[in-house]
A and B are shown apart, each in its own frame.
Chain A
Amino acid sequence: MTSVAHILTQRELSRRSFLRGGGSLVIGLGVTGIVARAGRTANDPSAASSAHTGAVPGPPDPTQIDSWLQVNPDNTVTLFQGWTELGQGTPTAVRMIAAEELGLSFEQVTAAQVDTNVSLSAFTVGSNSTATAMGATSLRGAAAGARTLLLDLASARLGVPVEKLSVSNGVVSGGGKSVKYADLAGGKSFNSTIAATNAVLIQPENYKLIGTRVPRFDIPDIVTGKLTYIHNVRVPGMLHGRVVRPRGQAALGQGASVLSIDKRSIAHIPNVQVVKKGNFVGVVAPLEWDAILAADALKVLWSSKPELPGDGNLESALRDPAKLQATNVAADTGDAESALAHAAKTVAASYFTAYQMHGALGPNCSIADVTPNGAVVLCASQGPYVLTRASVSAALGLPPTSVRIQIFQGSGTYGHSTYDDVSISAALMSQAVGKPVRVQFMRWDEHGWDQFGPAQATDVRAGIDAAGNIVGYEYTAFNHGWTQVVESAAELAGTPLPKAPGGQIDTVASGSFYAIPNRRVTSKVVNGYAGFLKGIWLRAPGAPQAVFASEQTIDALAHAAGMDPITFRIQNIDATQKNGVGRWIAVLNAVAAAAAWKPALSAAKLQSGNIVSGRGVAIGGFANSRPAVIADITVNKKAGVIKVDHLYAAQAAGTTVNLASVENQMMGCLVHGTSRALLEEVRFTRTRQTSLDWVTYPVLRFKDSPKVTTVVVQRLDQPPTGSGEPTTAAVPAAIANAFFDATGVRLYRMPMTPGVVRGALAA
C-alpha cells in the first residue's frame, strides 16, 4: 500500500501553503505534461498498489476495495472517491458515510484530491451523489468490506472471535485487548473485491454519524481565505489567456464565424499572442491584466445571422409546428379526454417559463498544460471523467487516457455551466502556445456562453368529480430539453455538433404525484437547432417549469372543488406509488405544521387596497425526493411587485446523511427558487443573447431575500434520493399560488416580473 505521506487533501495543502507565508499554491506540472508533482498525489514507486500513484490513467476498478481507500500509519483513512465539492457539502457527506462503515470518527477520514489518475469515476449532482455513495457496491460497500477484512485480521491477531470484537475510532477491542487498524493493515493492500468480503452494512439503528449534523470540513478555510479555489492556482511558467468571442451567443449551431482579425489593434499591449483555431479565438499574455486588455481591444469582425426568435417571440417559436421534431406520449393512463368531458368541473391554462442561466458567481476558470503527448488540466467539474476528460481530449485530438484532470473547488454551478468550455479553451490555447495557460472567463463570457435551463411552454387541462377527486389530467409540454452538451470552445474550434438535439420532459412533476385514473402526458419535442439557445441541466432540471404549470392547475382544481389546497392534495395523493403516500403526506403535514397553516379556501376573502398578502402551497421535487413548500407573500398591485416574506419547506429524501448540509441546501433552494420565480430570464435579440451581466440578468438581492424555515423528514430506513436541488422545484408554484390567494388572479408566466404581474392584474 502506498505511503500516505505524499497524499495531501486540499485542506492540508492550503493550510501548508498558507503556513509558508505566501498563501499561494504553486503546482509543478511535469515536463511531459502528464504527471503532476509537488505532492499533490501519492507518487511512491514502492507502492504496492499502482492505483494511487498518479502514474496510471484512471478510473481504477470500482469493484476493488483498494481503489476506494487506504489505511494510513496514523490510523486514519484516505478515500479516493470522485465526488467533487460544488458548494453543496457532498465531500463531507461522503466522509461521513465512510467513517460510519469503518467505525472511525469523522476527523479520521480524509480524501485525496479528485484526479483522473487517482480517483474513482463519479458524477456529482445534487440529486444522487450521496445515493450512489451509499450503495453496497460503491463507497459504503468498500468501507464495509475494509472493516470486515480488518476485523478478520484483528480476530486472528487478538485471538478473539469477530462477533466479540468492537470498533471505536479505528481501534478494534475484544477480550480485554485492542489493536489499531494501522497495525492490522501494516502498509499492505487489501487485494480484495468488495463482493468477496460478504460485508454486512451498518444498519440504521446503529448509525453514529449518518443522520446527525456534521459541520463541513472546508468552511473554516473558506472564511479565512485559505481555501484554494481553482481561481487561486498557478503553475510555473503559466501564461494568462482570455477568450475572444462575440458578446452573447447566437442560436445553437450558428456558432460565430470570424470574418477578419486585426492584430494591429493590440500592438500597444506587450507580449500578446493571438490563438485561432477555426472560429475559436483567444489571446495569451504573461500578465493577466494585459490578457484582459488584449481580449477587449482585439478587433475581430464576426458574421451574424438573425436565427433567434427574440425573447418576446420565444413562446410562439416553441409552439411553432415547423420547429416540431417529434411528439412523444410519455404517459397515457385511462382515457383523459373522455374523463375531462364528463368531469364535474374542469380547469385549463397555458403556461410559459423563460430560459434561466446557471450564472456562476465566479466565472469558470481552468489551467491547462498541453504537450504533444498529453495534457494536464486543473479545473472544477461535476464529472472529471465522463464530462471533462472526454470533452477536453476530444477537442485536443488526444485519447482520453492521455489527459489528466485534477479538480479544485470552483464557484457554485448548480448544473452544467461553462466549466468544460473554459477547460477546453485553456487546453486549446496551451496547445497553441506550448506553455501552461490559465483562462478565467470574464463576466460576459460566463453569462453570454452559458447553457441554460430550457424554456418551456405548457398546456394543462384537468378535472374533478363532485367529491373533489381528480378524474382527468392532460399535460402537454413544448421544449427542446437538453440540447446535449455542446461546449462552445469545441463548437467554435470546429468539433462537429451532435445530431439533432432531442427533447426531454419531466414526467414526474406532471401529475404523477396524484392518483389520477385518466392521465395523458405529451412531450412536444422542439428541434433545438431551429433557432434556440443551448439547453442543459440546471438545479432540479426541468422540474420548476413543470411544477409551475402542474401545481397551479392542482391549486385551481382545489379552488374549483371549494377545498383547502392541502386537504385537496392529501385527498388526491397517489397512495400506490413507490415511497409515495407516506412521503407526500408526511411533507405536507410537516410543512403545514411549520407554517401553522390554517385550512381555508384560497382567495376566499380578498383584501382591498394596494398592498395585499397571500399564502400558497405546492409540492414537486426532482427524481424521487419529495419537497413541499408554503409561501407567504405580499403584493404591491400598482407596482406589480411580489415580495416573498417567508418560505417554509419540508423535504423527504430518504436517508438524509448530513442534516446540517441538507438544511442548508434546502435554504439555498428556497432562495435560488425565489430568484428564478421572480427575476431570472435570459434575454436575446434575433441575433444574440443580451443578458451579459448582473444588470441585464437580475437575480435576487439581500433586501428581497425571504425568511426561511426548513424541515427534514428523515427516513433512515430508506436510501437517499438527493437533497441538493429538489426543493427548488416547488418554489415558483408555491409563490404563484400565494399570488392567487392574495389577488384571485393566476400568473401564467415565469419569471413573475412586475410587468407580468401588472399585466395579469389588468387583464
Chain B
Amino acid sequence: MHVEAATLTKRDFHCTDEGGVMVTKLKINVNGLRHDVRAGLDTPLLYVLHNELHLHGPRFGCGLAQCGACSVLLDGKEIRSCVTPVAAIAGKRITTLEGLPALYAAQRGATGAAPALHPLQRAWIDLQVPHCGYCQNGMLIQAADLLTTTKNPSEEQIRTAMNGHLCRCGTYPRILTAIQKAASVMAAAS
C-alpha cells in the first residue's frame, strides 16, 4: 500500500525521518475526539484503533476486507479498517462501535449526554443476538449505516446490505430480526 503524500493535509500529518524509518505523527478524528497518534502512513487504520487508541470494537478477522469484523464508519459509511491506510482518513470522521450511541444522539439532534446504547445495540441485547460475538462489531456498524440511509428497510434490503459480513456461529436470523426491531424503535422515536 502506498499513499500519495500530496493528498494529505499538512495540518493532519507531520512526517519525520527517524533513523531511516518514516514515522508520522497524525491527528485523527475518532468518535468525536481528535487523537494524536504515531504510525506509518501505510498502517491500516485497524491497528491504530486497536493498538494506539485501545478500542476493542473493530477486530481483525481476515485482513482482506472479506469478513467485516473490522468495520467502522467513515463519515457515516461502512468501511473495512483492516485495509484502509490510516492516511486515507485525513480530515474525515471515524465512528467505531463504541461511538454508536453518540452518533445516534447526533443524528437525532439530541443534546446532552449520549444514551448508553444505540437502538441497534439495545435490540441486539433484547434478542440475545451474539454467540461468540466476534463478528458483531461489523454487523452493528453495517446495520447502523443501513438504518441511516434506509429508515424502514425490507427484509431483502437488510439481507443485501448485510451480505458482506460473515458470521460462523449462525446468528444471521436474529440479526435480521434485531435490525427490523431497531428500525421500528428508531421510527417511533423520530
Inter-chain contact A361/B136, CB cutoff 8 Å: no
Given contacts A225-B55, A702-B163, contact A219 B64 (CB under 8 A): no
Q: Which of B73-124 contact A (CB under 8 A)?
A: 96-98, 117, 121, 124
Chain B binding surface, main DSSP class:
loop
**Given that A87-B131, A667-B170 are known contacts, is A228 also in contact with B60, CB under 8 Å in the complex?**
no
For B61-78 the 0/1 string (1 means CB < 8 A from A) is 111101101000000000
In the assembled complex, B153 has its CB within 8 A of some CB on chain A = no
B40's nearest neighbour on chain A, judged by CB, is A289
Complex CA gap A706/B173 in Å reads: 7
A708, B98: Cα distance in complex, Å:
31
> How distant is B122 from chain A, measured CB to nearest CB, in Å?
9
Q: How many residues of chain B have a CB within 8 Å of chain A?
A: 57
Whether, in the assembled complex, B28 has its beta carbon less than 8 Å from a beta carbon of chain A, the answer is no
In the complex the two chains form, is A701's CB within 8 Å of B163's CB?
Answer: yes
| A23-B55, A225-B55, A411-B134 known; A668 vs B60 contact (CB < 8 Å) | no
With A361-B61, A667-B170, A702-B163 in contact, do A22 and B133 touch (Cβ < 8 Å)? no
Pair A215/B125 contact, Cβ less than 8 Å: yes
Residues of A within 8 A of B34 (CB): none
Let me know if B186 is at the binding interface, CB within 8 A.
no
Tell me the smallest distance from the CB of B18 to a CB of chain A, in Å. Answer: 9
Q: Does A140 contact B (CB under 8 A)?
A: no
A178 at the interface (CB under 8 A from B): no
B55 touches A668 (CB 8 A): no
B43 nearest CB neighbor, chain A only? A289
Q: Which residues of B contact A412 (CB under 8 A)?
A: 131-132, 134, 168-169
| A359 CB-CB contact with B under 8 Å | yes
Q: Can you list 7 A-B pairs with a CB-CB distance of less than 8 A?
A: A87-B134, A410-B132, A443-B63, A672-B168, A672-B170, A694-B62, A694-B166
CB distance from B141 to the nearest CB of A (A): 11
Please report which residues of chain A, range 73-115, place their CB below 8 angstroms from some CB of chain B when the two chains form the complex: 86-89
B173 touches A219 (CB 8 A): no
Q: Which residues of A contact B60 (CB under 8 A)?
A: 231, 362-363, 440
Instruction: Give every chain A residue within 8 A of B174 (Cβ-Cβ).
Output: 664, 667
Query: Roughly how many angstroms separate A205 CA and B137 CA in the complex, as a whole number?
Result: 41
Select B59's contact among A215, A362, A661, beta carbons within 8 Å.
A362
Q: Could you list 15 further interchain pairs (A-B, Cβ under 8 angstroms) beyond the known A216-B130, A270-B20?
A: A22-B54, A24-B56, A87-B131, A225-B55, A225-B137, A227-B56, A229-B56, A234-B51, A361-B134, A361-B168, A410-B134, A664-B174, A671-B170, A672-B168, A694-B66
Contacts A443-B61, A664-B128, A707-B173 given; indicate if A359 touches B137 (C-beta within 8 A): no
Mask: chain A, 228-255; 1 = CB below 8 Å from B; 0 = not: 1101101000000000000000000000
Q: Mark A699-719, 1 if CB is under 8 A from B, else 0.
A: 111110111100000000000
B64→A693 contact, CB < 8 A: yes
Q: Is A39 an interface residue (CB 8 A)?
A: no
CB of A215 within 8 A of CB of B128, answer yes
Cα–Cα, bound, A695→B137 (Å): 21
Q: Is A220 an interface residue (CB 8 A)?
A: yes
Complex CA gap A303/B21 in Å reads: 34
Specify the chain A residue showing the minimal Cβ separation from B20.
A270
CB within 8 Å of B: which A1-42 residues: 22-24
Q: How far is the CA of A22 from the CA of B128 in the complex (A)?
A: 27
Q: How far is the CB of B135 from chain A (nearest CB, A)?
A: 5
Instruction: Count contacts between A and B, CB distance < 8 Å.
Output: 174
Closest to A665 in B: B131
Q: Is the CB of A702 within 8 A of B172?
A: yes
- Whether the pair B166, A87 counts as a contact (CB closer than 8 A) is no
Inside 8 A of B176's CB, which chain A residues have their CB?
Answer: 702, 705
Inter-subunit contact B162/A219 (CB<8 Å): no
Q: Does B165 contact A (CB under 8 A)?
A: yes
Interchain CB contact under 8 A, B55 and A443: no
Cβ contact within 8 Å between A443 and B62: yes
B150 to chain A, nearest CB (A): 15
Residue B47 is within 8 A (CB to CB) of chain A in the complex: yes
Contact status A86-B132, CB under 8 Å:
yes
Task: Tell me if B62 and A224 are in contact (CB < 8 A).
Answer: no
Summarize A's interface: helix, strand, loop or mixed: loop
CB-based contact A361/B67 at 8 Å? yes
Give the complex CA separation of A229 and B66 in angstroms. Answer: 21
Measured between beta carbons, the chain A residues less than 8 angstroms from B129 are: 219, 223
Which partner residue on chain B sits nearest A675 by CB separation?
B170
- The chain A residue sitting closest to B140, CB to CB, is A223
A416 in the interface (beta carbon within 8 A): no
Q: Which 7 A-B pairs have the closest CB atoms?
A: A87-B132, A671-B170, A412-B132, A24-B54, A225-B57, A668-B170, A222-B133
Contact B162 A702 (CB under 8 A): yes
Q: Which residues of B in the span 139-174 have a Cβ within 8 Å of any Cβ on A?
A: 140, 159-160, 162-163, 165-174
User: Which residues of B lie under 8 Å from residue A56 when comparing CB positions?
Assistant: none
Contact A231 B59, CB 8 Å, known A219-B125, A219-B133, A702-B172 = yes
Interface residues of B in 11-67 (CB under 8 A from A): 19-21, 39-40, 43-44, 47, 50-51, 54-57, 59-64, 66-67
Which residues of A lie under 8 Å from residue B162 when comparing CB positions? 702
Contact between chains at B54 and A229 (CB < 8 Å): no
Residue A568 lies at the interface, judged by CB distance under 8 Å to chain B? no
A309-B113 Cα distance, complex, nearest whole Å: 62
Q: Do B133 and A87 touch (CB < 8 A)?
A: yes
When the two chains form their complex, are residues B170 and A670 in contact, meaning their CB atoms are under 8 A apart?
yes
Please tell me if A288 contacts chain B, counting CB pairs below 8 Å.
yes
Chain B nearest Cβ from A205, distance in angstroms: 27
Given contacts A222-B133, A229-B134, A362-B59, contact A702 B165 (CB under 8 A): yes
Interface, chain A (partner B; CB < 8 A): 22-24, 86-89, 215-216, 218-220, 222-229, 231-232, 234, 270, 287-289, 292, 359-363, 409-412, 414, 440, 442-443, 660-661, 664-665, 667-672, 675, 693-695, 699-703, 705-708
The distance in angstroms between the C-alpha atoms of A667 and B47, with both chains bound, is 33
State whether A411 and B132 are in contact (beta carbons under 8 Å apart), knowing that A694-B62, A702-B162 are contacts in the complex: yes
The reply to whether A703 and B64 contact each other, CB–CB distance below 8 Å, is: no
Cβ distance B123 to chain A, nearest Cβ, rounded Å: 9
- By a CB distance below 8 angstroms, the chain A residues around B170 are 667-672, 675
Distance in angstroms from B73 CB to nearest chain A CB is: 14
Beyond A224-B117, A409-B132, A668-B169, whether A289 also contacts B47 by CB under 8 A is yes
Q: How far is the CA of A216 from the CA of B127 in the complex (A)?
A: 11
Q: How far is the CA of A613 from the CA of B118 in the complex (A)?
A: 40
| Cross-chain contact B21 with A270 (CB below 8 angstroms) | yes
Q: For B131, what are the chain A residues with a Cβ–Cβ distance below 8 Å?
A: 87-89, 412, 664-665, 668
Please measure, in the bound complex, the distance between the C-alpha atom of A160 and the C-alpha atom of B133, giving whole angstroms.
49
Q: How far is the CA of A440 from the CA of B82 in the complex (A)?
A: 14
Residue from B96, B128, B169 within 8 A of A225 (CB atoms): B96
CA of A289 to CA of B66 in the docked complex: distance in angstroms? Answer: 19
A225 touches B132 (CB 8 A): no
Q: Are A222 and B136 in contact (CB under 8 A)?
A: yes
Knowing A87-B131, A668-B169, A671-B170 are in contact, say whether A362-B56 is a contact too (CB < 8 A): no
Query: Please, how many angstroms separate the alpha-carbon atoms of A411 and B137 in the complex?
Result: 13
Cβ of B66 and Cβ of A693 under 8 Å apart? yes
In the complex, the chain B residue whose C-beta lies closest to that of A87 is B132
Contact A23 B173 (CB under 8 A): no
B130 touches A229 (CB 8 A): no
- Distance in Å: Cβ of A229 to nearest Cβ of chain B: 7
B47 to chain A, nearest CB (A): 5
Q: List chain B residues, Cβ under 8 A from A232.
A: 50, 56
Chain A residues with Cβ under 8 A from B43's Cβ?
289
Residues in chain A near residue B50, CB distance under 8 A: 232
Contact A23 B169 (CB under 8 A): no
Interchain CA distance A86-B131 in the complex, whole Å: 8
Check if A225 sits within 8 Å of B98, measured CB to CB.
yes
Q: Which residues of B contact A694 (CB under 8 A)?
A: 62, 64, 66-67, 166
B163 / chain A contacts, CB cutoff of 8 Å: 701-703
Chain A's nearest CB lies how many Å from the CB of B53? 8
Q: How far is the CA of A363 from the CA of B134 in the complex (A)?
A: 10
Q: Report chain A residues within 8 Å CB of B166.
A: 361, 694, 699, 701
B120 to chain A, nearest CB (A): 8
Chain A residues positioned under 8 Å from B62 (CB to CB): 443, 693-694
